Amino acid sequence: MVNEEELLWRYECLTLAGWPHSHAEVLANLSDVDLHEACTLLDRGCDVEIAFRLVLPLDLPLPRRKDPVLDGPIVRVPVESPYDVARQLGITIRTIE
């Protein structure tokens, strides 16, 4: 867990790089997230939702389900917001005001 000063610094770095508030707030709370990588992905034109999933730590077990169309491989469940991801992963997010 990051301290308050680090949290604000991480959040500012992410928002200045173009991350939406909700995504930046979740990512700033995760000390495992590489800020340089997160900012570079957006700078190079990566979609925010794809970049968000790419920078999440690998050891976080994202929600999964069977694909009803393919009826085969396990696929990641789409979520409505980064807060949904955090909630489903059991991550406590401190809000930034």
Domain boundaries, the chain: 4-89
- DSSP assignment letter at 33: S
Residue 65: its pLDDT value, please?
A: 47
Q: What is the pLDDT of residue 62?
A: 52
Q: Among the listed ranges 4-18, 25-39, 69-83, which one has the minimum average pLDDT value?
A: 69-83
Identity at 84, one-letter amino acid code: D
Q: What is the pLDDT of residues 72-88, one digit of tens each?
A: 444 444 545 677 767 66
User: For the chain, what is the mean pLDDT?
Assistant: 77
**What global pTM score does this model have?**
0.66
Helices (H) and strands (E) in the chain, counts: 5, 2
Q: Would you state the pLDDT for residue 6? A: 92
